[in-house]
Structure 1
Amino acid sequence: DRLRSLAGKHTDILETLSPTVRRRVEVLREIQGQYDHLESKFFEERAALEAKY
């Protein structure tokens, strides 16, 4: 329930931002998503190498 409340507040905050700032936030989210994906792959590959050696 608390998570839903926080998610609702997040949406409300985004709606109060100017379109320029909102677009910047969206681009940063995309970049963060790419980073998270690469970091996940890194940890998988590192674990595979550690298991191998």
Structure 2
Amino acid sequence: MFMINQKDKGISLIQNASIGYILVQLMPLMMKLLVGIGNSVGIAAPLALLI
């Protein structure tokens, strides 16, 4: 887009691509966090039923 004199659209595309790349790279961390939360809730739920 820079080469055909559409600088604003080119910058927008680069920004969107970089945000997408960062989100894809953070997905394993997010999944580990969700699994950890799910495991802690899964362990706490049966204990709450005993009380």
- The TM-score range, normalised by the shorter chain, is 0.5 to 0.7
Quote the residue 1:17 is aligned against.
17
Higher normalized helix content (fraction of residues): 1
In structure 2, give the amino acid aligned to 1:17: A
Runs of 4+ in 1 over 6 A off after TM superposition: none
Deviation at 1:40, TM superposition (A): 0.6
Provide the identity percentage: 11
How many residue pairs were aligned? 36
TM-align CA RMSD: 2.2
Provide the C-alpha distance between the structure 2 equivalents of 1:27 and 1:37, rounded to a whole number of angstroms. 17
SS in 1 for 2:23: helix
Q: Which runs of 5+ in 1 are unaligned?
A: 1-12
